[in-house]
Amino acid sequence: MGCLFAAALGEAGCRVSLLLRASRPQQQGAITVTTGAGSSSCPVILDSPAGSAAIGHLLVCTKAYDISDAVAGIAHRLDPATPVVLAANGLGYLEWFDTQLPGQPLYCCLSTEGAYRTGPLKVHHAGRGSNLIGSPAGLPAPAWLDDWTASTLDTRWEPRIRDAQWHKLAINCAINPLTAVNRCRNGELARDDRLRAQVTQLCDEISAVSRAAGFSRTAASIHREVATVIANTANNRSSMLQDVLAGRATEIAFITGYLLDTAERLGVAAPLNRRLLQELDRHER
């Protein structure tokens, strides 16, 4: 996703650098993005986190559990006014900024773009989606948003980004862990009677937690919207299932874990969500 966003912003006229995990001398590179209609290439600067040049705008596209380490590694290059845009699944990673970078202007990006890597700096844009950007602290839409809206990315400002984040988290809680534990594509959750009943129970629990947390829209619509997502993505493997199959850590702590932390704080029971968290925890250990 980082390469996809970088290429789109670069083609819109922004000067873009990629911060690579490994230390290396700064040099020129190019991102190649392919679609069903062909391919395009966008020049970028390949940079190291250990560099010294100031960062004027930071977009973080790591897994949720990598955000704190990634930002800590380049914190010396951030001005207190540098906007930081976090494009990650789940919730629970903003708290690190409260203690380590208090006052840093933070924004969150929720994306439904479909993309995957086919090689170093090579990305296949499998499906066009939309991108919501907003401020968890309630800041107004910034001037730099024009760079996004001028690009080929379908982007709009979302003033209620926390509600949108919770809504996406709720849908992920109902689908991703169940597909990961059962090693199945999304559509199997509707075809298999046992799994379909578990989806219903998960949605019941998620609805109760959402209502107690003040997210009434999610509480009222979660059953219907989860069914729609399952139908529309029937042949897809969830990102959590892909992580399990590849032997990678999952983002379960920032998805189901965050929901359960909220449920416990509000005194709401969510036993099936907890069982799925425990099963995936055992897998990762």
Query: How would you label 170-187 residue by residue, b for 16+ Cβ within 10 Å and e otherwise?
Result: bbbbbbbbbbbbbebbbb
3-state class of 15 per DSSP? coil
Whole-angstrom Cα distance, residue 125 to residue 186? Answer: 20
pLDDT of res. 270: 98
Which DSSP state fits 152? Answer: S
CB 228 within 8 A of CB 199: no
Instruction: Tell me which residues of the chain have a pLDDT lower than 50.
Output: none
Whole-angstrom Cα distance, residue 71 to residue 113? Answer: 23
User: For the sheet containing 17-19, what is the strand order?
Assistant: 17-19, 38-47, 27-35, 122-127, 114-119
pLDDT of res. 282: 87
Fold of the CATH domain 163-284: N-(1-d-carboxylethyl)-l-norvaline Dehydrogenase; domain 2 (1.10.1040)
| Residue 178 C-alpha from the chain's centroid | 18
> Catalytic residue at 63?
no
HSE at residue 257, side-chain half, CA atoms within 13 A, is 16
pLDDT of res. 6: 96
119-127 LR contacts (CB < 8 Å, sep 24+): 121/3, 121/18, 121/29, 121/30, 121/31, 121/32, 122/3, 122/31, 122/32, 122/34, 123/3, 123/4, 123/7, 123/31, 123/32, 123/33, 123/34, 124/33, 124/34, 124/35, 125/4, 125/33, 125/34, 125/35
List the catalytic residue out of 93, 168, 171, 213. Answer: 168
pLDDT of res. 36: 85
Whole-angstrom Cα distance, residue 148 to residue 198? Answer: 39
pLDDT of res. 257: 97
* The residue to which tokens 């006052």 are assigned: 103
pTM of the model: 0.92
Whole-angstrom Cα distance, residue 135 to residue 184? Answer: 35
Pick the CATH number of 1-158 from 3.90.1570.10, 2.30.30.830, 3.20.20.105, 3.40.50.720: 3.40.50.720
* The residue to which tokens 């992580």 are assigned: 243
pLDDT of res. 52: 86
Paired tokens of 272: 């099936």
pLDDT of res. 88: 93
Amino acid at 173: C
Please report, for the chain, the start and end positions of each structural domain, with discontinuous segments joined by +: 1-158, 163-284
- Decide if 1-158 and 163-284 have a common fold: no
Q: What are residue 60's DSSP bridge partners?
A: 86
Whole-angstrom Cα distance, residue 14 to residue 147? Answer: 7
pLDDT of res. 255: 97
Amino acid at 224: R
